[in-house]
Amino acid sequence: MLELAAHILDIAENSVRAGARLIEIDIHEDTVKDSLSIKIIDDGHGMKQEEINRALDPFYTTKTVRRVGLGIPLLADAAQRSGGHLNLESQEGKGTTIKATFGLSHVDRQPMGNITSTLIILIAGNSDVDFFYKHRHNDRQFELDTRVIRKEIEDVPINHPEILKYIRGVLEEGFSEIKPES
């Protein structure tokens, strides 16, 4: 994976497979501390202690379609290459939290990539899951909560093309508001 957005997509898809009904994605860019953090929290079935212990092993997976589980190990490697680290917490029956930190300006930090498209893919492909996205850049913050959108659209499916177009517009506007001024 060449961009952080791809890591986010992969981890969130793991959350969906783990039965999550709510996935929170929190990105915090802090130029003063020169840090970037990505935290993904889900309310899925969580992991047993043995699974937690082995989650950073690329040759371990609970998936039956392939023999390797590269998502978490690749994210951990990306964080470490930029002077950061990965923390994994999970409790069986309660969910999982993954937090990766990166050196924001580190030469080896992967680019963020297209977060808007990543979120649209997640929402469109998992219409029965709610997503809460928060992005902070220093003192500016943007949030998107599909639970709020669902209340506004009532019985229209959240993955309806017009609703996805609306969500894309909200995301693009939100990102433009938190971008650093040039």
Q: Domains, the chain, ranges and CATH?
A: 4-178 (3.30.565.10)
Model confidence band, residue 52 (pLDDT cutoffs 50, 70, 90) = confident
What local confidence, expressed as pLDDT, does residue 93 receive? Answer: 93
163 CB contacts (<8 Å, ≥6 apart)?
149, 153, 156, 157
pTM of the predicted model as reported, rounded to 2 decimal places: 0.91
Phi-psi group of 113: left, alpha or beta (phi > 0 → left; psi -120 to 50 → alpha; rest → beta): left
pLDDT tens sequence across 152-173: 998 999 999 999 999 999 999 9
Please give the residue that has the higher pLDDT: either 57 or 46.
46
Question: Cβ neighbours of residue 50 under 8 Å, at least 6 residues apart?
Answer: none
> How sure is the predictor about 67, in pLDDT bands with cuts at 50, 70 and 90?
very low
Q: Report how far residue 91's alpha carbon sits from residue 125's, in angstroms, rounded to the nearest whole number.
A: 26
Mean pLDDT of 98-105: 97
